[in-house]
Structure 1
Amino acid sequence: MNLRPLHDRVVVKRIEEEALSAGGIVIPDNAKEKANKGEVVAVGTGKALDNGQVRELSVKTGDVVLFGQYSGQEVKVNGEKLLVLKEEELFAVIEA
């Protein structure tokens, strides 16, 4: 099953942070915070404007983005946890 977001929504796969603290202590899963960084895996067709035109989204598949810890709606597709967000919930694109 594939997930195709509608309109101004994007599908993001969280990028989990390192499970070690700066001092080398292993952090258990139940003590870790949700990652707020992820890779865009799918984008919608764009945002509908008041004049009827559709504006393309600013992000594309493969972009690494930042978002709020509790943003979006988590869904499970083929056993994989993904996050569906509106483009406006994204804070930034990380550029290398």
Structure 2
Amino acid sequence: MKLTPMGTRLIAKQFDDDKVGSIIVPDMAKKVSLRATVVAIGEDCDWIKAGDTILFGRYARFDIPLRGEEWKDHFIMNEEDILCKIEGE
């Protein structure tokens, strides 16, 4: 299935922060990551492109309500809700 974001929306995949160094973090101790990789952009997105790593606000995302592993950890958000682009990681 293919999803195409419209306007200034984008689809991103949340970072999986399961490890700190070589230590695996248990589910109870995990915080929700506010970092993501942009997967697809709408036709009106000006500042961001697919493949960029971004930092976003806690309530800026809309989880994709589709079943299956293909869209696990993916969400939709508006380009204007991006706080910054992360470079050199």
TM range (shorter): 0.7 to 0.9
TM-score, normalization by structure 1: 0.75
- Kept after mapping to 1: 8 A contact 2:18/2:24: no
Q: Is 1:14 the counterpart of 2:14 in the alignment? A: yes
User: How many matched pairs?
Assistant: 85
Q: Which residue of 2 aligns with 1:50?
A: none
- Which of the numbers 78, 86, 89 marks the counterpart of 1:94? 86
Q: Which residue of 2 aligns with 1:30?
A: 28
Percent identity (aligned): 29
How many angstroms does 1:6 deviate by? 0.4
> Which ranges in structure 2 are unaligned for 5 or more consecutive residues?
none
- Identify if the C-alpha distance between structure 1 residues 25 and 94 changes in structure 2 by more than 3 Å, giving closer, same or farther: closer
Q: Is 1:72 the counterpart of 2:61 in the alignment? A: yes
C-alpha RMSD of the superposition = 2.0
> Which ranges in structure 1 are unaligned for 5 or more consecutive residues?
47-55
TM-score, normalization by structure 2: 0.80
